[in-house]
Structure 1
């Protein structure tokens, strides 16, 4: 165990530091709460604003989204070095990929919004109160990645595997912006078991004006994604998965969790042809697409290396 800790010292610092920064941000955000955003007296409170500069305000939602992007980008930076790639290419990708993904996330939300209220172009691009859908971001990012990796002459599958980790990190961190906005929740909790195990500060902020506590689906999704993240971070250092497998596994894991667990509980769903869009697309495009990807890869790309074999060095690697 001691030898393992010594060999993976850099990884422990990297992931441990990221986790600590995330926890401290949650503590800071929660300490600013001055009333449940679900309370009927919402006008007395403002849990959405982190900083009021007078001439502009900065929302907690934006801070959590950006923090997720920064942590994901930091992990990708060190992974770029592990495979011997020029890290400048990563920064080029972030420069274009992040804005495009945010645009994709917003357009997805606007297209499938069951209660459209967009009268002007500014209404369409206004994300100050939320209104981003991760499905749109993932789809946009993967399409962008096809062109970007071809232009930069780097392996699409390896890059996609790195992006899978970034997606999970961004989703875990970003969901806490929904918590501060009092959105992305489910119906009233009927299970006493769930009430007993939920942290008090979450129950407080998920309490309605009638005194009932509603399902914090953002929290459930975060736990589901965290489990998937830990699994991928550990297994990618062994000869279990070949390049491109992790993006497929991510799509399957997230698709099943979102389609079968989270979305059925959500009270603010997006719709497509009268059906909950995120259930349909999570199970078909994500989970189904992930399964199809893994199958086709083994038929078309038979001689791919294991992800571990792509690393420049196999010793002293982060988890």
Structure 2
């Protein structure tokens, strides 16, 4: 049947012997779009136009390293006997939580050196991080990865998603949950909410806390559907544990700060 053969090529184009994959193109596009959105808000909030560029020069490459280290440590039994494979990033193996942890650490150090409030910067940037995550999941779609368990074609048709997505979810004759799509939609919804929250007089840092809680809440449930999870021990999925811890910590901080009577700076403060 023709719809079984209508699978998208993960290779976008080739330059001589080098294949450029759609995954890389999509991730790069997500970074550029996220940067443009964040840059506009940074300038609006009084930052120098080069501030974000200088930050990303450090944050992006170190985030990739962090994503790889997180993945390798989570799969150490696989890499222990052949550690050279741990640097072969072209074979796949990046974890978004590792990238996020390192990115926030880099931002903290960078803002301290520039004498700028860390939470003021992260509040501006987190909607764009979620934009990048929204777009980046489509790289998984092109690679036919980060999907859920088997489902029927009728199930996918009942979701009223486009035919080309349904076809791409057919892998070796079996259809799978498009968990990449679920997370992309969840993330995009979060982006819209955060952009609207910019008009609300939130306490500085609450946009960042909202991002952590929103992404963690959705990731916990979507991760439970995936077939490629990293496991902490037994059937305990690493991403779900991290999501629960991050959500609870962010919620406690949010409530604690709201209970304080001291006047804290607001997002909209110049």
Same fold (TM over 0.5): yes
Alpha carbons of structure 1 residues 86 and 133: separation in structure 2 relative to 1, 3 Å: same
- How does 1:1-319 map onto structure 2 within 5 Å? 35-36=6-7, 47-113=9-75, 116-117=78-79, 119-121=82-84, 123-189=85-151, 192=154, 194-196=156-158, 197-210=160-173, 212-239=174-201, 241-260=202-221, 262-274=222-234, 275-284=236-245, 286-298=246-258, 302-310=262-270
Deviation at 1:299, TM superposition (A): 5.5
- Once the two structures are overlaid, the 10-residue window that deviates more, 298-307 or 163-172, is 298-307
1:29-76 superposed Cα distances (whole Å, 9 cap, x missing partner): xxxxx7537xxxxxxxxx222121114221111111111111111111
CA distance in 1, matches of 2:152, 2:76: 27
Write the distance in 1 (CA, Å) between the matches of 2:254 and 2:136: 28
Contact 2:30 2:133 (C-alpha < 8 Å) held by counterparts:
yes
> Tell me, what secondary structure is at the counterpart of 1:86?
coil
> Aligned pair in 2 of structure 1 residues 89, 72: CA closer, same or farther (>3 Å)?
same
Aligned length: 263
Work out the CA distance in 1 between the residues paired with 2:153 and 2:169. 15
SS at match of 1:198: coil
Greater strand content: 2
- The answer on whether the counterparts of 1:114 and 1:271 sit within 8 Å (CA) in structure 2 is no
Q: TM-score, normalised by structure 1?
A: 0.77
Q: 1:36 to 1:87 in 2, by over 3 A?
A: same
In 1, Cα distance between the equivalents of 2:150 and 2:107?
40
- The CA RMSD measured in Å over matched residues stands at 2.1
TM-superposed deviation, 1:180: 0.8
Alpha-carbon distance change, 115 to 203 in structure 1, aligned in 2, over 3 angstroms: farther
Give 5+ residue unaligned stretches, structure 1.
1-33, 38-46, 311-319
Provide the C-alpha distance between the structure 2 equivalents of 1:297 and 1:100, rounded to a whole number of angstroms. Answer: 31
Instruction: Give TM-score scaled by structure 2 length.
Output: 0.90
Partners of 2:92 and 2:124 in 1: CA distance: 26
Moved over 3 A (4+): 34-37, 190-194, 296-302
